């Protein structure tokens, strides 16, 4: 059974709960590090917590959520070794995996998506990295961590 880490702030409690159940229904073991109440927490702290846990190993991917998904994805992308996508639809979620081999995907709990976020998450999960020319590009992305 594959492992997933998920974390959220107070802006995405409901969507995080939906994702946790959906991931469990798909057979994942979910390590939910996020909050379950509307008490305010800072999304950079939640991103750091989940990314540090992910980097310990034994996780297939991570899911991050805040009110818009923007702040938590920016925070995650500051952490060495993390590539976090914030998809706007299923196609973007699929391409995040196929072309960018992201290890985290982010969503906004207060966003009215044009399609179900669960469908977007499934598009991500059901995709696989294509490698080849995309690996060259990922190598260049990751080199930016130490060259800029």
Retrieve residue 33's tokens.
């590090």
Q: Choose between 121 and 146: higher pLDDT.
A: 121
pLDDT for 146: 80
pLDDT band at 148 (very low <50, low <70, confident <90, very high): low
99, 134, 147, 148: the catalytic one is 99
Between CA 130 and CA 74 the distance in angstroms is 25
The reply to whether 134 belongs to the active site is no
Q: What pLDDT, in 10s, does the model give residues 91-134?
A: 999 999 999 999 999 999 999 999 999 999 999 999 999 988 99
Report d(CA 76, CA 64) in Å as an integer. Answer: 9
Q: Which of 66, 84, 134, 148 is catalytic?
A: 66
* Measured CA distances, 16 to 22, 50, 62, 82, 117 (Å): 10, 13, 12, 20, 11
Please state, in angstroms and rounded to a whole number, the distance separating the CA atoms of residues 88 and 129: 19
Q: Which domains does the chain have, with CATH numbers?
A: 3-147 (3.40.1400.10)
pLDDT higher than threshold 70 for residue 60 = yes
Classified as helix, coil or strand, 102 is coil
> What is the C-alpha separation between 87 and 115, in angstroms, rounded?
11
Note if 99 is an active site residue. Answer: yes
Token readout for 110 is: 């207060």
């Amino acid at each position: 059974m594959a492992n997933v880490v998920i974390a959220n702030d107070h802006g995405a409690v409901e969507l995080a709960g939906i994702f946790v159940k959906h991931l469990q229904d798909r057979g994942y073991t979910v390590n939910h590090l996020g909050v379950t109440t509307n008490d305010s927490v800072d999304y950079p702290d939640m991103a750091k917590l989940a990314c540090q846990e992910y980097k310990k190993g034994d996780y297939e991917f991570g899911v991050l959520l805040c009110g818009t998904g923007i702040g938590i994805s920016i925070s995650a992308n500051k952490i060495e070794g993390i590539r976090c996508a914030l998809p706007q639809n299923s196609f973007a979620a699929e391409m995040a995996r196929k072309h960018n081999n992201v290890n985290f995907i982010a969503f906004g709990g207060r966003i009215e998506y044009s399609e179900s976020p669960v469908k977007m998450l499934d598009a991500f999960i059901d995709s696989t990295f294509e490698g080849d020319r995309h690996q060259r590009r990922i190598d260049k992305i990751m080199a930016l961590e130490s060259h800029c």
